[in-house]
Structure 1
């Protein structure tokens, strides 16, 4: 049986999870990718690297963000957010980096994570993070529970 999640359950799920998926689309291309995130009760904050996702998000900042929780094979919960992607700069970026300090962007074996204004490691390709937030427009949550009694 499908049911709506209460606002309290939606908030709890967003607060207690670390990984979600961001969906974006531009120029006849649709992309869904996993991301680590931090939710502060108002925004979704994240780190990523320059690439296809950031290119699409700069062209069309409208995003979908989803998290799931599989409790058992017959019980799952899902939260979907519709919002606007905003790349952060300066003080907003620094504040978000503080919130995201435990989250890491994925890097390849020959790469190292760098920060502007900090000496880069030598001998490696340096990847600088794109720090962003999602301005939440709409949040919905659903739950599915299968019962053998259901027809």
Structure 2
């Protein structure tokens, strides 16, 4: 049976996760990619290298995030967050966003029992590209779940 999540359940689920699928479009085609996020009450804080999704969101700022946990067809949770892309361009805001992600990265690394393999570490060429920090201002949230009893 499929049921609705309450607003409190939706916010708790979002806060317990940090990976979403971002849906954006350029007016003709839709692009869906996984992203990392940090959740605040009214927005998601995100970062990316400049590229196709950033260009699409700059031109068409209405986006959708999907955060889910799927165990099987009878046991899943899915939250949709509709919102608006907002690029963080001021130096103080960029520095603050960067610090949030550094702290989160260090927290996650401290929880790991083994170091990340060399192949999963960013290559040197990524350090030459511009990192874009942005918010997705939340305009609407909805969530559903199924649980087989």
Same fold (TM over 0.5): yes
Alpha-carbon offset, residue 78 of structure 1: 0.7
- The list of structure 1 runs, each at least 4 consecutive aligned residues, that deviate by more than 3 angstroms after superposition, is 106-110
Within the candidate set 111, 129, 132, 2:125 is matched to 111
- 1:15 and 1:41 in contact (8 A); partners too: no
Structure with greater Cα Rg: 1
SS in 2 for 1:100: helix
1:80-91 maps to which residues of 2 (within 5 A)? Answer: 80-90=80-90, 91=92
Distance in 1 between residues matched to 2:140 and 2:121, nearest whole Å: 32
Alpha-carbon offset, residue 97 of structure 1: 1.8
- Structure 2: 5+ residue stretches without partners: 106-119
Q: Which residue of 2 aligns with 1:53?
A: 53
Within the candidate set 137, 140, 143, 1:141 is matched to 143
Scaled by the length of structure 2, the TM-score of the pair is 0.80
Distance in 2 between residues matched to 1:6 and 1:129, nearest whole Å: 35
- Structure 1: 5+ residue stretches without partners: 114-125
Give the aligned length.
133
Alpha-carbon offset, residue 108 of structure 1: 5.9
Alpha-carbon offset, residue 92 of structure 1: 2.0
The 3 A distance-change label for structure 1 pair 6 and 15 is same
The 3 A distance-change label for structure 1 pair 33 and 73 is same
Alpha-carbon offset, residue 99 of structure 1: 1.9
Alpha-carbon offset, residue 73 of structure 1: 5.2
Alpha-carbon offset, residue 19 of structure 1: 0.5
* Pairing 1:75–2:75 present: yes
Superposed CA RMSD: 2.0
Distance in 1 between residues matched to 2:84 and 2:131, nearest whole Å: 19
* Pairing 1:26–2:40 present: no
Distance in 2 between residues matched to 1:130 and 1:110, nearest whole Å: 17
More helix by share: 2
Within the candidate set 124, 129, 132, 2:131 is matched to 129
